Amino acid sequence: MDKGLGLVLPPKGEEKEIPKKNISNLLINARGDVLLDKEPLQIKDIRQVVLEKMAANDKLIISVKTHPKAKYQTYVEVLDQLKMANATRISIAETDK
Amino acid sequence: MKFSSKTKVSGEIPTSSMPDIIFMLLIFFMVTTVLREYEGLNVFLPQARKIERLESKRHTAHIFISKDGMISIDDKIIPMDNVKHVMYDKRVADPQLTVSLKADREASMELISDMHNELREADALKINYSSKVAAPS
C-alpha cells in the first residue's frame, strides 16, 4: 500500500490575497538551509517554532518557497515538520526562475 | 505370383514420446518467461514521519520522477509538457483521483514545482508525496 505526505494543491487561477500579518514565509535555499520569517533555523526545530506561531495567530498560513535547486528530500522534511505541527494551512509558493 | 509388400506402414503416430516433447516445451516457456519485474522508474523515495496511507489503490495514479528529470506515468516516459493532458484524461475518468508522486529524494524542486503546475492545470489537486517511514529521532 502506498503511503506518503498528502497535500491539496490550490486550483488554477485562484490566487488569493492574504493579509501580510497572517503569512509566515518559509524559505528553503539550494543548500537546504531554512529561513522562517527571516530567522534561520534547523529543520527539526520548525515544528516547535510553527506551533508557537500558530498559537499566537490561528489564521496563520505558512507559505513555503523553495529554491529551484533545492532537493526534494529537504522539501519533504519541511513539509513533514509542518504536518507534525498540524499546520493545515500550507501554501506552496511558486519558485522563481 | 503373389506380391506382398514388405514394408508395412502402420497408420499410427507414435505417441510414446509425446510427454517428453510437452515437458520440453513447458520447461522452455517457464525458463524464457519473465514476470513483470519493472514498474515505473528506479527512485529512492524521501523519508518522512507524519505519513498517511492512501485510502484506495483504485483511485490512485502514480507519477515517477527520477533525479535526472525523467517522468513516467503508466510505464511510459512522458515529457513534462504532456503531463497535464495525460493527467487531465485520468482526472476526467476518475473524479476522486489522488496522485501519488514518487519522486527521487535527490530530484530538484524545479521539477517538483513544474509538476505542481502541470497538475494544477490538469485539475488533479489531491497529491501525495510518496515517502518511506523515517526512524524517529
Enter the C-alpha cell of residue A46: 520548525
CB contact under 8 Å between A94 and B119, yes or no, is no
Which class is domain A20-92? alpha beta
Q: Which of A44, A72, A97 sits opposite B104 (nearest CB)?
A: A72
| Domain range for B89 | 47-133
Flag whether B55 is in a domain.
Answer: yes
For residues B109 and A75, give the distance between their C-alpha atoms in angstroms, rounded to a whole number: 8
Flag whether B18 is in a domain.
Answer: no
Inform me whether the pLDDT recorded for B84 exceeds 70.
Answer: yes
Q: What is the ipTM of this complex?
A: 0.82
Q: What is the pLDDT of residues B29-66, one digit of tens each?
A: 999 988 765 567 788 888 888 888 887 778 888 889 98
Instruction: Determine the residue of chain B that is closest to A9 in CA distance.
Output: B125
Q: What is the pLDDT of residues A19-70, one digit of tens each?
A: 778 888 888 888 888 888 888 888 888 888 888 888 888 788 888 888 888 8
Choose between A55 and B24: higher pLDDT. Answer: B24
Flag whether B94 is in a domain.
Answer: yes
pTM recorded for the entire structure:
0.76
Inform me whether the pLDDT recorded for A79 exceeds 60.
Answer: yes
Q: What is the pLDDT of residue B22?
A: 96
Q: What is the pLDDT of residue B4?
A: 66
Q: What is the pLDDT of residue B5?
A: 63
Flag whether B39 is in a domain.
Answer: no
Q: Where are the domains of chain A?
A: 20-92
Single-letter code of the amino acid located at A10 = P
Give the contacts of B128 (CB within 8 A, at least 6 positions apart): A2, A4, A5, A6, A7, B52, B54, B60, B98, B99, B100, B101
Give the contacts of B106 (CB within 8 A, at least 6 positions apart): A71, A72, A73, B44, B67
Burial of A62 (0-12, 13-18, 19+ CB in 10 A): buried
- CATH for B128: 3.30.420.270
Instruction: Determine the residue of chain A that is closest to B111 in CA distance.
Output: A68
